[in-house]
Amino acid sequence: TTSNPLIPSSVSQKCQAFLTALNSNDQIAQCTAPLLTTVAAFHASSANSYSASSSQVQSALTDLCSAPGCDDALLRSLLGQFNGNCSQELQAANQVVLGSYDALYVLSPLRNAVCTRDESGGFCLDDIAQRSVPAAASSSSTGTNATSSIVASSSAAANFAVLAAETESDYSIPVPAPPSLYIQISSAARRLLRRQCPVVALNEAGVHAFDVPSILPDAQTWSTSNLPFLFLSPNMTSSVLCSSCTKQILAAYVAWESRMPYALGLTNSPLLSGQGDLWTGLGQVCGTGFLQAVTQQAG
């Protein structure tokens, strides 16, 4: 049989068999289709730049969050099988194997975090981008016009572009340049992906999966920018950081990590290793009572 170019030949036969089955899992293909649709809608063109209005982002988030996510029990079962079949490779921190585990692990909490809403019903992601989270019981509109563009460049001189906003603030949000978000995959792997059955299901859902350069997140970019936590950082203003949005975002991860502990411990997660520093920073800025509220909300 022809080897799968997506899977390192150095991994054990048991791990190869599991990863091959995972790559062909119809349930995962179907439940991630809405997410891939959203990614494809905003992926950079050949010009290496992108622009999206707030209304486009709002529409994409609404579509994503109204679609069902991946079944919790399915993900936990697959993660357990992953650890059982590829424990040696995970312990050795094989980049592809560990990256695949991380990508599967964050599916549920990341979707829940992206779909969080503020006290006024708006998406928390939009609030963080605009650096303004509506206060509880407040119906006034004090922010700037929500229709703004986010433009990122892939120039070698700048690894991140800065989100420009018409607001007065003492911090900025790093926006990763599109090419730095994913690990590039080989043309052989791309051809194999085109032949796999789940791709048919994805294309039927309107996903042009091969406009996206890779299936694995670039852990360095995601971790450095705190992307899994929607760019939350202790250097944000307390009005944004110590908000109901932050509680919900972190609670999504705490709840998931309680139900499905990370195989190697979170400090060894390429994507989530920064959670500890974020948690410590939150305690310093917002107080221990805020952290207790996050834990309580997580259940």
Q: Domain range spanning residue 69?
A: 13-298
pTM, two decimals, is 0.75
The H-or-E segment that residue 102 falls in is helix 95-105
Any domain includes 254? yes
Note the pLDDT tens digit of each residue in 44-67: 544 445 566 778 788 889 999 999
pLDDT at position 42, please?
66
pLDDT above 90 covers a percentage of the chain that reads 41
Any domain includes 1? no
Average pLDDT over every residue of 216-244:
82
Residue 14 has pLDDT above 60, yes or no: yes
Any domain includes 172? yes
Number of structural domains in the chain: 1
Q: What is the chain's Cα-based Rg?
A: 19
Any domain includes 7? no
Average pLDDT over every residue of 97-109:
93
d(CA 113, CA 228) in angstroms, rounded, equals 8
Cβ(253)–Cβ(106) below 8 Å: no
pLDDT at position 126, please?
86
Q: In terms of C-beta density within 10 A (0-12 exposed, 13-18 middle, 19 or more buried), how is residue 95 classed? A: middle
Highest mean pLDDT among 156-160, 191-195, 231-235: 231-235
Q: Residue 82's closest CA among 109, 108, 105?
A: 105
At which residue do the structure tokens 């950081």 appear? 241
